[in-house]
């Protein structure tokens, strides 16, 4: 097999010098990658939606006569079905 002594995955002796990058440099590279930005946007949107729904569930279902216990159960079902759907 090919052994790798450097963090970049280059095999020893292949003539490619690898300079380890810091977190700042790697973050800048990631922020220029369109695929990373698409995944970040999708994750941010879904997490924000989940947090907003979880925070406001009582205010959303309260006017329809549901109790706080019903709202808590609905939020728990949201989490459970979300896990099943993932």
Confidence of residue 1 (pLDDT cuts 50, 70, 90): low
The 10s digit of each residue's pLDDT in 3-36 is 555 555 555 556 666 677 889 999 999 999 999 9
The 10s digit of each residue's pLDDT in 35-83 is 999 999 999 999 999 999 989 999 999 999 999 999 999 999 999 998 9
CA separation (Å) from 57 to 19, 34, 43? 50, 34, 21
On whether the pTM is more than 0.75, the answer is no
SS3 per-residue string spanning the chain: CCCECCCCCCECCCCCCCCCCCHHHHHHHHHCCHHHHHHHHHHHHHHHHHHHHHHHHHHHHHHHCCCHHHHHHHHHHHHHHHHHHC
């Amino acid at each position: 097999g090919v052994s790798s002594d450097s963090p970049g995955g280059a095999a020893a002796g292949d003539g490619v010098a690898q300079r380890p990058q810091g977190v700042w440099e790697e973050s800048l590279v990631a922020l220029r990658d369109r695929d990373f930005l698409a995944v970040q946007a999708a994750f941010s949107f879904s997490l924000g939606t989940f947090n907003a729904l979880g925070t406001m569930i009582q205010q959303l279902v309260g006017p329809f006569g549901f109790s706080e216990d019903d709202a808590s159960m609905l939020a728990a079902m949201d989490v459970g079905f979300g896990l099943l759907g993932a």
